[in-house]
Amino acid sequence: MSGENQPLTSPPGGQTIVITQPPTFVVYERRFGTGDHYLLLSIIISIVCFLFCGWLTLICTIPAILFALSAQDAESRGDNVTMEKKAKTALILDIAGMITGAVSFACFVIIVIFNS
């Protein structure tokens, strides 16, 4: 009988003892440093394209800088949805700035070649 489960009996006096444990809580917290969110890319594209391709690229790259700064601000507030949207918009504007710069440079080269 020693190996079998014995039924619980109440202690003398008819009192019941209840033993509880506090529930465990698991908290996940994601902490990272503030990301770049394409700010450096926006600044480099602004400088390079302005020097070699003209002012037209600034129409895309200056808003890209503003969106990247806005994404950093949203990340510091903990608003991840807004941060991802702003960072994606900054990247799209950077790509548009590079395309605009390439087209401007190609037009400049074509004009110089045909005027020679």
The string of pLDDT tens digits covering residues 25-41 is 777 666 556 688 899 99
Q: pTM here? A: 0.68
CA neighbor of 53 nearest in space, from 106, 112, 114: 106
CB 60 within 8 A of CB 41: no
Asked if residue 28 belongs to a domain, the reply is no
Asked if residue 22 belongs to a domain, the reply is no
pLDDT band at 71 (very low <50, low <70, confident <90, very high): very high
- Write out the two tokens for 42: 């926006």
Say yes or no to pLDDT of 55 above 90.
Answer: no
The backbone torsions φ and ψ at residue 6, rounded to the nearest 5 degrees and listed phi first, read -95, 140
Is 115 exposed, middle or buried, given 0-12, 13-18 or 19+ CB atoms closer than 10 A?
exposed
Query: Which pLDDT value is given to residue 39?
Result: 93
Q: Determine the structural domain holding residue 100 and report its residue range.
A: 39-115
Asked if residue 91 belongs to a domain, the reply is yes
Asked if residue 3 belongs to a domain, the reply is no
